[in-house]
Amino acid sequence: MRRTFSRFLITIIIVSFIVSPGAMVSHTYAGDDPCYGLDHCFISTNETGTTATLEWEPIEGVQSYSLKITIPFNYDDTDEVVLEEELDIDDLLFDSEKNRYIYNLTGLKSGTLHYALLKYGEGDWDWSPLYFTTLTSVEPPANVEVIDITETSATVQWMDNPGHSEYYISWGPELSTYVRDGSGSYTIENLTSNTTYTVSIYALVGTTLTSEPVEISFTTTEAAIVWPTEVNFEAEDITHRTATLIWDEVQGATEYHLSNGDGWEATVTDAAYQLTGLTPSTSYTYKLTASNGTSTSQEFTHTFTTAIAAVDHETIKVDMLTHDSIKLTFDAVDGAEKYAFEGARFYSDKGTSIHINSLAHQTSYTIKLYAVHPGGIKSAPTLFTFTTLAPPLPGDANLSSLDFRVEYQEGLNVTLGWTAWIPDASSYELIIDGGEPEYFAREDMHWYAFHHRFTKSLAFRQNGTHTASLRGVNMTGKSKAYELTFTVAAREANPTQSVVPVSKVGETLNGLENVINNLNNTLSNGTWRTLPEGMKLDIMNSIMSIVNEGYNEVGKVIFTSQVEGNIAKATVSAADVALAAAESKDYVDQANKHLNKLGANPVKPAVVLDFEDVTLQSSEITLDASAMKTLLDAGVESVTIKLNGTQVSINPKEFPNGFELNRGQQSAPKNASNGSPNFVSDIHSFEFTDNNGVHSTFNNPVGVSLPTRGLGNVDTALLTVVNVSETSSEQGDEPTTIIGNFGGTFNPATGTVDTVLHGFSSYAVIENKVNFNDMGSVKWAERSIQVAAAKGIVVGDGKGNYNPTGDVTRAEFLKMLVTTFHLKAPKATEPFIDVNDSDWFSPYVKAGLNSGIIDSSTAFNPRAAITREEMAQMIGRVLRNQPGAFEIANTDEILKDFPDAASISSNIKDDLAFTVLKGIMVGKDNGFEPTAKTTRAEAAVIVKRLIDLK
């Protein structure tokens, strides 16, 4: 019964000692005495997670006590014993004020109910039972503050709590340093001046319990400034009215004070100040001090003299401004004898006026005006900027001065020429026989200059009378038309020569027969080599246009496919292609005989397989081994497959045993306005398989044409073919990733973008707008840079800049050429000692070697800036390897207009001449300048010309 009663009594006591987490145990008692109303005062205080203090009143005559601490589990004797000890009163602490013994407990379990039993002598353990609970959390430090803050130290202090074991302190801009401390303050040292720090402090109880952190921030004081004894203080951009004071920035200064000793003062924060309203030819002394609000540096001085009097910008007035001229007036300058001007062609009407003419329309100009004082001393220049207006409608030129006539005629070949430039015109429009107009500007006409006349060469396919209409054009309209009528007729064939008619293809080749007949006669009298090289180029371009049109028709086979499910299928065998292959070979043989006589590169037989009835998005075309053998035996080097607007051209050597082409098509993602690609075609996938499985890469280039749709306001010059990840949605609204950029050119006649690949996957056409931030100084090249960047030929620095004025290295320009012409790198190792396989330019060097653009030698010098003649040589080697390219009979004729032609390396002249003839490179201010470097902007212009040429 007694034990049961004791448990009941303890239950009552428990109510006084169990508390909520995070607070000290509070005991319920009357007045100030916690033992009030208790027969035997036995209490616990200062409970923490692992410690507590027991207090009890002494029993008279008792010399020792027995103490037992347990953790109760049930109402038997299986409670866990934490402590059992005999306590002699001589070993106990005694609080005389409270009249109590004090005993500190350690090693308790946190957050746990403990049962304390105390007895004396041989008495019962239930003499005075006590329950108490250790804490489950810890109070954070109180009254935390930072004091005594200096440049390099600060003291953190807080109210020390007896229940806390120690404190964990960390600090720093990112709380990276820490210490443990048991006191109520800690001094942090080795700090950085004028820096904000955060201090975090935790309270610890025992080794496991911590409080929530208390964080506080402070900023160290600024370091004491040691002012310099010298400062570079000077004036620059001194004119007669203005000057700019500049000085070195002073560390620690927040402002600068300027004065001149005459009452003028100014306070600024920047290390520069512009002075205005100065008097010409006058000496000025200015003083400078730096301060930080609390201290000031010593005084620094600078003396300068303003320039002699110059033209005041405010007095310059525009009396007249047109599209090509301006007339200015200005006030006279005291002491000036005369005036001088720079910046454009001009003549002076009188002392204080200037009339400038022969300007370009809608162009910004800056001129410099000088006042010339006695002794020929020039003032500082006064700059004046203006922009010319748009041109008026082109006026009527005098027909006799224009002299529009037939310059040269040989059979079906005609060169038209004229002398004068139509007033106010920025370009020409030429229409032949009422057809589509052709436009060209003055700079384009440079390449047709012949006897100091503008010329245009034409090649016709048959005899007849023709009309030519020439107009001047500018932004506001066109001039009247200047008409010319002329007749062309092929000369009779030389009886000693025979021309094999290419009659198998009917009317399609009539034009070529006539051109070839005419060329035979030209060759017979030896006039071909004497023709101007520019005229030869025009004639050859016309011939190649007809040749290409002819053999594309000769080798065409139209097929009908079968539909199985949603797939169009067809199989091509030897019987299907035999006739087309034979006719293509016969046609090309005849054409090459004549091209060979002209010293031109030959063309190769080609066959076109036109599946014009296929409109399904999926198709499966098979060319069996017999078909491939027939094509290879005929020397066919290009097989073109046309399917649903797409076109793929491969070399039969890739598949001597036949192949199967699987083509798929799906909608591209819907275009968004948030910078996502602007798709202008569907996504087309191609897969070639043969006996060895999927054929993903090709040894020979593969021509691809992808149809576009919904062009609208799309800039077709920025269209490019990209490799994309396939979408999984029929609606094309799933994310699509662009993997690679393969360039290409837009063909307005077919509405396709044509490019060259060396492997197959999934492809689409996008409008790729690439803008750079640093185009301000190269507006003349901005369009070329934009087009070349759209096709992945040139790139920026990844930060939005192109660096247009930087030099182009040999490796960088070789990469541009290889990318423009889609040349492939072989797997062989290049022989250069300064090119490693790990270098970014290694594959381009291999492709350049493989294509003959560069020669094999010891070193390539990839990082050296490329010279203009090295660039011309690389370009010439590419162009001279194209079908229809011909040997130039007289390079000196092409290079004669360059004053420095003699300085061009002799081994480069042939390539350079062909590059110039094609209009890819032009001269500079002092001639061709063969050893000059080329900027990235100039390189992009050259790349754009190569793109247009293709």
Indicate the burial class of 19 (C-beta count within 10 angstroms; 0-12, 13-18, 19 or more).
middle
Mean of pLDDT over the chain:
79
Question: What are the angstrom distances between the C-alpha of 936 and each of 784, 793, 804, 807, 841?
Answer: 11, 12, 5, 6, 17
State the first-to-last Cα distance of the chain, in angstroms, to the nearest integer: 113
Write out the H or E segment, with its range, that includes residue 574. helix 574-597
What letter does residue 927 receive in the DSSP assignment?
B
pLDDT over 60 (residue 504):
no
Angle at 71 between CA 65 and CA 72, to 5 degrees: 105
Residue in 621, 802, 616, 790 with CA at minimum distance from that of residue 715: 790
pLDDT over 80 (residue 546):
no
Confidence of residue 785 (pLDDT cuts 50, 70, 90): very high
> What single letter denotes the amino acid at residue 471?
R
Please enumerate in sequence order all residues whose Cβ is within 8 A of that of 366, keeping only pairs 6 or more positions apart, or say none: 343, 383, 384, 385
Write out the H or E segment, with its range, that includes residue 186. strand 185-188
Helix 936-949 and helix 810-820, axial crossing angle in degrees, nearest 10? 20
pLDDT over 90 (residue 44):
no
Write out the H or E segment, with its range, that includes residue 93. strand 93-95
* Lowest-pLDDT range of 17-21, 46-50, 576-580, 831-835: 17-21
- Give the pLDDT confidence of 178-205 residue by residue, as tens digits: 566 667 888 888 888 889 999 988 887 7
Q: Alpha-carbon dihedral of residues 836, 839, 840, 845, nearest 10 degrees?
A: -20
Considering 376-380, 505-509, 656-660, 913-917, the range whose residues carry the highest mean pLDDT is 656-660
- Give the pLDDT confidence of 600-621 residue by residue, as tens digits: 888 888 888 887 666 667 888 8
pLDDT at 4: 31
| Cβ(279)–Cβ(298) below 8 Å | no
- Give the pLDDT confidence of 832-873 residue by residue, as tens digits: 888 888 899 998 999 888 888 988 877 889 999 999 999 999
- Give the pLDDT confidence of 455-481 residue by residue, as tens digits: 777 777 678 899 999 888 776 778 888
| Cβ(668)–Cβ(721) below 8 Å | no
pTM for the model stands at: 0.50
